[in-house]
Amino acid sequence: MKNSFLSRARLLIASVVVFGTGCSTLGLDGATSHRELVLEPRLVRETAKESFLGYRRLNRMSPLLTERFVVQGNAVDGLSVFQRDTGKKVWKLEIENGVEGGVELSGETLYFGGGDGLLRAVNLADGKVLWTTPTRAELLAPPTLENSNLYVQTGADVIYGLEAATGKLLWTYNRQVTGNLSVRSSSRPVIAGESLLVGFSDGYVVSLRKRDGVLQWERKLGRGNRFRDVDTTAVIDGDKTYVASFDGTLACIRIATGDLLWQADLSGYLPVTLGTGAFSDRLYFSTVDGRVVELDRSTGKETRSVRLSAGIATQPVQSQNLLIFAESEGAVRVLDLERLNTIAQYQTGIGVLSTPTYDKKQSELWFVSSTAHLYGMKMAFRRIAERYPWKQMTSELESESF
């Protein structure tokens, strides 16, 4: 009888541990202690000078983090730098139609383009403009810096090679695309050895010689007559790259020749994410039909997916067994990659187009909302001790790297 009672007691305790939230441990007083992942706002700051009541702007720049600062642009009126620990605004540079694409940082210099068609070099500490170069079209992606040169693509399908120190023009490549509708986005030039990989609104991804912009090869991916843009920034994986078009093609391409290695019927305008660790044989990709898909890296075959209730997802960010992304009409979500289920989320109230920036060391998540508000979130576990089904006792947050 006694053994039977003990067996039933052990079974009851085991069932509480298994079905608890997150990682569970048994408390010293007999209560079961659980840990659940939470996203807790550390600070929220307005980035626009005043509330914007016009047509909706695409506030989609990913925050740039340094040890002391957070750099954030909006699509309304400019670029701001905040103190990371306090959220105090250090400086703001007002720019007509704002900064959507993002920035490149080298040392103490920020390089970025704006909706006013100017490429700038600006001092990080005080916002002093070092030089400006006209590009005659808005810039919707950050420039790429290597050594002493900058490479940037404009919304008019023109690539510029420039001196980083002065903004002096070295060469241009003009795709001269005409006659088709296009998505308001552009890729970021990606360096692959002595080449640049760039996508264009005519549905082609091309390889340009880095030193002078001469075309080396081109590969057509876009298949439709409308929105065939290749706006995804190429992602390098050894001797191959992954690029997608907006109208239904995600491709794996050999960098040296442009040969197609595999192709999947998936549409998108954001880069793929390479899986790491236990998931290093996978790719993660946000599609324009409102899914986040997991793919076999060697074949492009879809293995699993998550469907959003509305809108589209930002580029996924992976850290160990977590996958983080934001929804254009929903929440910032954290998924457990083992089960591909949501274990934490945070609603801003209107959605997020900004791919979150995750600082693993500080367990912090940063993004800008669709209303141009900068969010700094703490990502941590909360310990919950359940004494009775109707009563909970919650302790302080525990920081942990993921």
- pLDDT, tens digit, 9 for 90 and up, residues 213-265: 999 999 999 776 667 889 899 999 999 999 999 887 999 999 999 999 999 99
Inform me whether the pLDDT recorded for 389 exceeds 60: no
Q: Are 82 and 45 in contact (CB under 8 A)?
A: yes
Q: Are 264 and 258 in contact (CB under 8 A)?
A: no
Tokens standing for residue 132? 């400006």
Identical fold between 65-174 and 181-268: yes
CATH code for the structural domain at 65-174: 2.40.128.630
303-to-236, 279, 282, 283, 284 alpha-carbon distances in Å:
21, 12, 9, 10, 10
pLDDT of residue 252: 98
Number of Cβ within a 10 Å radius of residue 362 = 17
Tokens standing for residue 92? 């703001």
d(CA 168, CA 9): 77
d(CA 117, CA 338): 45
Q: Which helix (H) or strand (E) holds 302?
A: strand 302-307
Tokens standing for residue 401? 């790297």
Confidence of residue 20 (pLDDT cuts 50, 70, 90): very low
Q: Are 115 and 99 in contact (CB under 8 A)?
A: yes
- What is the mean pLDDT of the segment spanning 4-25? 34
Residue 35 makes CB contacts below 8 A (sequence gap 6+) with 21, 22, 23, 24, 381, 382, 383, 384, 398
- What is the mean pLDDT of the segment spanning 66-70? 97
Residue type, 143: P
pLDDT, tens digit (0-9, with 9 covering 90-100), for 290-342: 999 999 999 999 999 999 999 999 999 999 999 999 999 999 999 999 999 99
Give the three-class secondary structure for 219: strand
From 108-117, 185-194, 281-290, the region with the lowest mean pLDDT: 185-194
Residue with the bigger pLDDT between 58 and 397: it is 58
Q: What is the DSSP letter of 173?
A: E
Give the three-class secondary structure for 143: coil
pLDDT of residue 26: 31
- What is the mean pLDDT of the segment spanning 6-16? 36
- pTM comes to 0.87
Domain ranges of the chain: 65-174, 181-268
d(CA 110, CA 98): 15
Q: Are 371 and 383 in contact (CB under 8 A)?
A: no
Q: Does domain 181-268 have CATH number 1.20.950.20?
A: no
- What is the mean pLDDT of the segment spanning 177-195? 80
Q: Indicate the Cα dihedral angle 370, 101, 109, 273, nearest 10°.
A: 90
pLDDT, tens digit (0-9, with 9 covering 90-100), for 74-112: 999 999 999 999 999 999 999 999 999 999 999 999 999
Inform me whether the pLDDT recorded for 147 exceeds 70: yes
pLDDT, tens digit (0-9, with 9 covering 90-100), for 277-299: 999 999 999 999 999 999 999 99
**Whole-number average pLDDT of the chain:** 87
